[in-house]
Amino acid sequence: MAIKFQRVPSAQPSVAFAARALAIVLALGVAGLVLAARGNAPVELAWEVLSSTFGSSFGLEDVGLLVTPLILTGLSVWVALRIGAWNIGAEGQFYAGAFSATAVALFIPGPTWLILPVMFTAGALGGLLWILVPTLARAYADVSELITTLLLNFVATLMVYYVATGPWLDPSGHALATTARLPHDVPEFWGIVHYGFPLAILLTFVIAGLLNYTRWGYEVRIAGSNPSAALYAGMPFRRRLIVILLMSGAIAGIAGMLEVAGTVHRLQGGISNNFGYLGIMVAVLARGSSLGVLAGAALMGVILNSGIILQTQGITVSAVLAITGLILFFTAIGNELAHYRITRTEPAAS
């Protein structure tokens, strides 16, 4: 009897899931080994992280606060991937959304019940405008949206840094490099976790519903898995692509609006906390599943929170980024290996 590895065109979901789980465990294992080599005690650190995350309501609230933007940036990247496009610019759209929402809050007077929805709309529009040029360039000139969306991240970062240190600097003089505290807050519903959290989950279900149960969503999914088949069937690929990418930008913009209005309350450089890049990780972990976006965001939230807890141990946000990269690398390899099937064949009689 001989054992053969055979590659099949689409991976079995259960195998793909196991491969991703293994990738995460392996990456965390490698991170633990590096920590051990640097003289830390990985098991004790892991215990400290787990007990302070899940041991108290405060720990869970911290994670909840981080999961909110991660769901949305993850959803943003995930939506674009449905049609086969890479929105690597969720980071920039996040900044643009936070920027627009802050502009509304600082310069338009009015009661909170009126201004919050305006801020929300402004955030979504900011994200949408930020992806407009890459979208049109991809749709009409076939310029890779991956690179253009990414380059705009740097522009958005600089723009927010500029207004937070220059024209919109807190006039009270107490704060450096940040705007004044915004007069309107997204209300909290559980400890420090604001209503953005349930809103993000709701938005995920709405978009999953659109993609799974409407003709429009069907056409998007077909266009994503086989563009030429979609064109041959007469589906308007370009129009679907434009709408999906603009939607993707708007979702990331909403994430930025909720972060500035619900969590940070001031616009400042570095407000995005790499949420845009971590969103890529969330979308990749989720693969085709919308529930996977929520699960992926929860996982990345716990990992990001662990990094914050371990800051006192000399572990930085950069280390979390490196570990995320390691998980992504192993996941990519796991995704590919999940395509292989082991078959046993009887040797031919000779």
How many Cβ atoms are within 10 Å of 312's Cβ, its own excluded? Answer: 8
Number of residues that bind other proteins (CB under 8 A): 45
Q: Which stretch binds other proteins (CB under 8 A): 10-18, 41-49, 294-302, 325-333?
A: 325-333
Under the binding rule (CB under 8 A), the answer on residue 329 touching other proteins is: yes
Which residue lies nearer to other proteins by CB, 125 or 320?
Answer: 320
Please choose, from the candidates 240, 213, 245, 212, the residue with its C-alpha nearest in 3D space to the C-alpha of residue 227: 240
Non-local CB neighbours of 245 within 8 Å, separated by 6+ positions: 80, 83, 85, 87, 131, 134, 135, 138, 139, 145
> Counting beta carbons within 10 angstroms of the beta carbon of residue 272, is it exposed (0 to 12), middle (13 to 18) or buried (19 or more)?
buried
Q: By CB under 8 A, which span of 46-54, 154-162, 199-207, 236-244 interacts with other proteins?
A: 154-162
Strand 193-194 with 188-190, pairing: antiparallel
Verify binding: residue 213, other proteins, rule CB under 8 A.
Answer: no
| 322 binding other proteins? (CB under 8 A) | yes
**b vs e for 155-192, b when ≥16 Cβ sit within 10 Å of the residue's Cβ?**
ebbebbbebbeeebbbeeeeeeebbbebebebeeeeee
Stretch that binds other proteins, among 104-112, 121-129, 256-264, 314-322 (CB under 8 A): 314-322
Closest distance of CB 255 from other proteins, Å: 19
User: Shortest distance, CB of residue 221 to other proteins, whole angstroms?
Assistant: 19
- Three-class secondary structure of residue 127 per DSSP: helix
Stretch that binds other proteins, among 44-52, 149-157, 240-248, 342-350 (CB under 8 A): 149-157
88 lines the binding site for other proteins (CB under 8 A) = yes
- Distance between CA atoms of residues 153 and 90, nearest Å: 8
Phi, psi of 269 (to 5 degrees): -60, 145
Of positions 150, 207, 208, 257, contacts other proteins by CB under 8 A: 150
Nearest approach, Cβ of 187 to other proteins (angstroms)? 34
* Positions of E strands within 93-151: none
Task: Tell me the CA end-to-end span of the chain in Å, nearest whole number.
Answer: 13
132 binds other proteins, rule: CB under 8 A: no
The nearer residue to other proteins, 263 or 268, going by C-beta atoms, is: 268
**Is residue 161 a contact residue for other proteins (CB under 8 A)?**
yes
Stretch that binds other proteins, among 44-52, 211-219, 292-300, 326-334 (CB under 8 A): 326-334
> Which residues make up the interface to other proteins (CB under 8 A)?
7, 86, 88, 133, 137, 141-144, 146-148, 150-155, 158-159, 161-162, 165-166, 277, 280, 284, 316, 318-326, 328-329, 331-333, 335-337
